[in-house]
Amino acid sequence: MSKAELLAPAGDEESLRAAVRFGADAVYVGGEALQLRAKAAGFDRAGLLKAAQTLHAAGKRLYVAVNSLARNGEIDALSDYARFLQDAGADAVIASDLGVIDTVKKAAPALEIHLSTQASCMNYAAARVYRDMGVRRIVLAREMELAEIARLRAETPADLELEAFVHGAMCMAVSGRCLLSSVLTGRSGNRGECAQPCRWSYALTEEKRPGEYFPVFEEDGYTAILSSHDLCCIELLDELQAAGVTSFKIEGRMKTAYYVASVVRAYRAAMDGTANVEACRAELELVKHRPYSDGFYHGFLREHHANSGRYEHGAVFVGTVVSWENGLLTVRQRNPFRVGQTLELMSPHAPIRSFPVESLTTEGGEKRDDAPHPNELLTLPCPYPAAEGDFLRRRETDG
């Protein structure tokens, strides 16, 4: 599995650093334009320069999403932006719009172009056309089966790379091109502002009975009839690579650094063979997620169990390590924990290690029994060496 690339998301600098530390080979981010995520998950120009420097210093690659469908006015400024990305050291842009692809290619010929999954490329004829236009990599449509990927690979030049999503949220619409949020809220999912109405709970009404709502049940008293499962393909990596996929992509530019680190760590271990797949899958069950599915890779969704749309998780992220010295851990608290509970330390190159919370001390020297305040700096004994950027979690069963 060592030949495949592990590609991680980052919506901010903390997530980018986590992706690097926990084993990603490349990171994709959004910038100031056409990036299909909320502005809060985008890097400004100074941030992109720093991201490129950070990744290249670690021997990693930076891809910048420019994957929205562009309006006329947005094309006008795109050449300057593309030249900036090229000069900043971005290794590739991810694009779906034909006009964007052509504009970037002319303005910044040294930039690789990766075709976004938004383009829904799922046949070899389309892939060949995109390659002839200068596209270096196809991010495959999420609706493709393994056999279809293998056929596309066999019918396209070997220098055309294939990338596939292996983990994260999925949209109920084809390749994410959904108008539901636009219609119901005025916030377009195709412009990075999705309100996720597919995750809402719905009921049936009859026009002559206003105010009467009839619940629609899938199972156990709930429904989320439009809500897709989250993707989890930790068991399919060998099959994907055998089909010709050379980059495994994790979704999640809106996720926390802890989420990015946890998922990257699990996939890195599976790809390197440092942990068995069952153990890696168990780790992925601990992060916050909707019910998992392996998508369409084996045909129509194999897992047909009902989806509540609710998040599941087996562990709670409680803090980020600031430093460790002489058996004392300094942590920036993110979620509550208290004396008497057991925490788990997550580091990039070590097994998960658990230890009891024996005491808590604030930055001002006050002794505490609990840690209820987000972002507070706390010190606690920890027998294991840790480094800045490691994470602490608490099992849900240790309430």
- pLDDT (tens place) for every residue of the chain, 399 residues total: 458 999 999 999 999 999 999 999 999 999 988 876 666 678 999 999 999 999 999 999 999 999 988 999 999 999 999 999 999 999 999 999 999 999 999 999 999 999 999 999 999 999 999 999 999 999 999 989 999 999 999 999 999 999 999 999 887 666 666 777 677 777 776 666 676 777 777 777 878 888 887 766 655 555 566 677 889 999 999 999 999 999 999 999 989 999 999 999 999 999 999 999 999 999 999 999 988 989 899 987 655 555 555 778 899 999 999 999 999 999 999 999 999 999 999 999 899 999 999 999 999 999 999 999 999 999 999 999 999 999 999 998 876
Whichever domain contains 40, its CATH number is 3.20.20.380
Query: Based on the domain organization, do 273 and 286 belong to the same domain?
Result: yes
For residue 306, tell me if it sits in a domain: no
Give the per-residue pLDDT at 1.
47
Query: Based on the domain organization, do 40 and 74 belong to the same domain?
Result: yes
Query: Based on the domain organization, do 209 and 247 belong to the same domain?
Result: no
Q: In the chain, how many domains are there?
A: 3
The pTM assigned to this predicted structure is 0.90
Query: Based on the domain organization, do 144 and 207 belong to the same domain?
Result: no
Whichever domain contains 336, its CATH number is 2.40.30.10
Q: Which of 213, 190, 194 is nearest to 202 (CA)?
A: 213
Query: Based on the domain organization, do 148 and 223 belong to the same domain?
Result: no
Residue 379: its H or E element: strand 377-381
Residue with tokens 């909707």: 290
CB neighbour list of residue 114: distance below 8 Å, 6 or more residues apart: 63, 92, 93, 94, 95, 135, 136, 137, 138, 139, 161, 163
For residue 182, tell me if it sits in a domain: no
Query: Based on the domain organization, do 17 and 138 belong to the same domain?
Result: yes
For residue 120, tell me if it sits in a domain: yes
Query: Based on the domain organization, do 155 and 16 belong to the same domain?
Result: yes
Q: Which of 180, 216, 219 is nearest to 201 (CA)?
A: 216
8-state DSSP, 71: P
Query: Based on the domain organization, do 128 and 245 belong to the same domain?
Result: yes
Query: Based on the domain organization, do 97 and 236 belong to the same domain?
Result: yes
Query: Based on the domain organization, do 119 and 219 belong to the same domain?
Result: no
For residue 305, tell me if it sits in a domain: no
For residue 185, tell me if it sits in a domain: no
Query: Based on the domain organization, do 61 and 210 belong to the same domain?
Result: no
Query: Based on the domain organization, do 332 and 354 belong to the same domain?
Result: yes
For residue 307, tell me if it sits in a domain: no
For residue 25, tell me if it sits in a domain: yes
Give the domain extent around 351. 315-395
Give the per-residue pLDDT at 228.
76
For residue 177, tell me if it sits in a domain: no
**Token couple for 202:** 């719905």
